[in-house]
Amino acid sequence: MLSVLFFSTLGAKLVKRVLFSRFANYLDEIARLGSIRKAADKLNISASAIDKQLIHAEEALGVELFERLPRGMRLTSAGEILLHGVRSWQKDLARIRFEIEELRGLRRGEVKIAVSQETVFDFLPGALASFMKDHPRIANHVAVAESDRIRQMVLDGQADFGLTFSPPPLPGVTVIRAARFHVRAVVPVENEPQPQKTIALSDFFLRPTIIPDASVHLRDIVDIAAAKSKARLQPVLTTNNLELMRSMVREGCGFGLTAISDRSSTAVKDGLAYLALGDRSIPPLTLSLIVAPERKFSLTSILARRYFEVYFDGLEQAGGKEPALQKKA
C-alpha cells in the first residue's frame, strides 16, 4: 500500500502528529476549500487554531505544505504528497476496520454453499457446525444439488464454494481440498443381530435393493458394483433422495448403498448398520471442495471455507480424531 510506504519514511512522532490528530482533517479541508477561514467555519473551530497546527506540521516536516496566495491557499508539491498519503491511509484504515469487524462477526454476513446430497448425512453437519457455533450472526445458505450442477452454481456466483463428487477435470473451478468417500452397504440392524463388518457383493444383490437413481453420482458406483458381481440390477426402489433410501432400509424394505468419509462412524446408528463391501475393487468416490478462482470473495465466505479446509485436513489424521478448528480471528 502506497500510504504505508509513504508514512514509513516519517518518524513515529511525526506520523502520530499527522495521522492521529485533528490535523489530518484540517489538511483535507484547507486543500478542499482553499482557505483556512472556510475550513475553520466548516469544522467549527477558530482559524488561528488551524493555522497554528499547520505551522507546527510544516516546521516538523521542514517544508511548506501550502502556498499563501492573495486568493487563498494552494497545496505545494510536498502538500500534495502528504495529502495523498493521508487520504490513502484513511481509506486503508476504513477497509481494515471493516474487515476486522467482519471477522469478529460484528457485521451480519452470509455464506452460500452448494453440496452433493451424499455429504448431508454427516460430513456437512460436522464441517458446518463449528463455523455456525463460532459465528452465530452469519447467515448460512446451503443448496443441495446434483454434483454436475454444483460446479455451475459456483461459477455463476450462486454459491461461494461447493462440495461435489464430479470427477475431474472441472473447467473454470479450482479444487482446493479433496477427500475419499467409501461405498458402504446400508442394512437394517434387525436383520443383523450381531452386525458383521463386511458383506459380499453377491450377497448384497441377492437382497431387495434400494438405490440412487441416475441423477445421483453414487449410482455410477452401484452400476459398477453390479457389473463386477455379474448381478442383474433389479431394485425395488430408486430415488434421488438418499435420506428416503435410509428410511426405507430402516423399515425393512431392502438394502441400500451410500458413501461415507473416513471420518464417518460405521457404528450402528438410528437402526442402521454400514457394512464395507467385500470386493475391494469397488472404487471410492472423491469429494472435492471447489471455488471459482476468478471471483472476489467476502471475508465471511473465506473464513467459512477455511473451516471446511481444516475439516478436510482432519480426514488425514490418524484415528479419525476431530481436528481443532480455528476460533474466531
Tell me the domains of the chain and their CATH numbers: 2-103 (1.10.10.10), 110-320 (3.40.190.290)
Q: Report the pLDDT averaged over residues 167-190.
A: 87
Check pLDDT > 60 for residue 51.
yes
Check pLDDT > 90 for residue 91.
no
Check pLDDT > 90 for residue 3.
no
Q: Report the pLDDT averaged over residues 103-110.
A: 65
Residue 191's pLDDT is 54
Q: Is the pLDDT higher at 9 or at 202?
A: 202
Residue 67's pLDDT is 94
pLDDT tier at 141, thresholds 50, 70, 90: very high
pLDDT tier at 19, thresholds 50, 70, 90: low
Residue 105's pLDDT is 56
C-alpha cell at 295: 471471483
- Provide the 8-state DSSP code for 118: G
Q: Report the pLDDT averaged over residues 42-59.
A: 90
Residue 6's pLDDT is 45
Range with the largest mean pLDDT of 27-31, 169-173, 261-265: 27-31
Check pLDDT > 80 for residue 229.
no
Residue 93's pLDDT is 81
Please report how the helices 36-43 and 23-33 are oriented relative to each other, as an axis angle in degrees rounded to 10.
120
d(C-alpha 294, C-alpha 303), whole Å: 18
Q: Is the pLDDT higher at 97 or at 129?
A: 129
Residue type present at position 311: Y
Check pLDDT > 70 for residue 321.
no
Residue 111's pLDDT is 93
Residue type present at position 234: Q
Preceding peptide of 169 cis, ω within 30°: yes
For residue 148, what is the enclosing H or E element? helix 147-155
Check pLDDT > 70 for residue 5.
no
Q: Report the pLDDT averaged over residues 64-91.
A: 89
For residue 67, what is the enclosing H or E element? strand 66-69
pLDDT tier at 62, thresholds 50, 70, 90: confident
Query: If DSSP states are collapsed to H, E and C, what string results for 245-298?
Result: HHHHHHCCCCEEEEEEECCCCCCCECCEEEEEECCCCCCCEEEEEEECCCCCCC
d(C-alpha 106, C-alpha 1), whole Å: 26
Check pLDDT > 80 for residue 203.
yes
Antiparallel, parallel or unpaired: β 139-144 and 237-239: unpaired
57, 83 contact by CB (below 8 A): no
For residue 153, what is the enclosing H or E element? helix 147-155
Q: Is the pLDDT higher at 29 or at 9?
A: 29
pLDDT tier at 10, thresholds 50, 70, 90: low
d(C-alpha 240, C-alpha 170), whole Å: 23
For 37-63, give the DSSP string. Answer: HHHHHHHTS-HHHHHHHHHHHHHHHTS
Q: Is the pLDDT higher at 256 or at 192?
A: 256
Q: Find the range with the poorest average confidence among 59-73, 82-96, 283-297.
A: 82-96
First-to-last alpha carbon distance for the chain, in angstroms, is 23
Task: From 313, 294, 326, 305, select the one nearest 109 (Cα to Cα).
Answer: 305
User: Beta partners for 224?
Assistant: none
d(C-alpha 190, C-alpha 252), whole Å: 8
For residue 115, what is the enclosing H or E element? strand 110-115
Residue 325's pLDDT is 37
For 143-158, write each residue's pLDDT tens digit.
Answer: 999 888 899 999 999 9
Q: Is the pLDDT higher at 162 or at 21?
A: 162
Q: Is the pLDDT higher at 172 or at 265?
A: 172
C-alpha atoms less than 13 angstroms from C-alpha of 199 in its C-beta half-sphere: 23
pTM value surpassing 0.75: no
pLDDT above 70 coverage of the chain, percent: 82
Check pLDDT > 90 for residue 317.
no
C-alpha cell at 281: 475393487
Collect contacts of 192-200 with beta carbons under 8 A, ≥24 apart: 192/273, 195/268, 195/273, 195/275, 196/275, 197/266, 197/275, 197/276, 198/275, 198/276, 198/277, 198/278, 199/275, 199/276, 199/277, 199/278, 200/277, 200/278, 200/279
